Amino acid sequence: MDLLAGGGFIIIILLMFIVFAGLPLYCIIDAATRSSDEFTKADSNKTLWIVLPFVFGIVAAIVYLAAIRPKLKLVTR
């Protein structure tokens, strides 16, 4: 069965849109809802992590989720 036949192509495009737009948006919202104090304690910058996913998209979102968010979680405990 051909995955791209019929509506499969539209589903793939929709999933790609969700990942490439949704993940950076999730990171922007996550960073915006945290206090600047948390970012300072984690040796980072809140404004930077609100702007970077907006500008660089999925790459910055992956960096935020892999490196910055775990530090923020440690700080809030």
Spell out the domain ranges in the chain.
Answer: 24-76
Q: Which tokens is 66 given? A: 């892999």
Distances (CA, A) of 52 to 38, 43, 55, 64: 18, 16, 5, 9
Evaluate whether 22 touches 48 at the Cβ level (below 8 Å): no
Name the one residue in this structure whose structure tokens are 């051909």. 2
What pLDDT, in 10s, does the model give residues 16-63? 988 899 999 999 999 999 999 999 999 999 999 999 999 999 999 999
What pLDDT, in 10s, does the model give residues 38-49? 999 999 999 999
Residue type, 40: T
Other C-beta atoms within 10 Å of 72: how many? 20
Does this model's pTM top 0.85? My answer is no
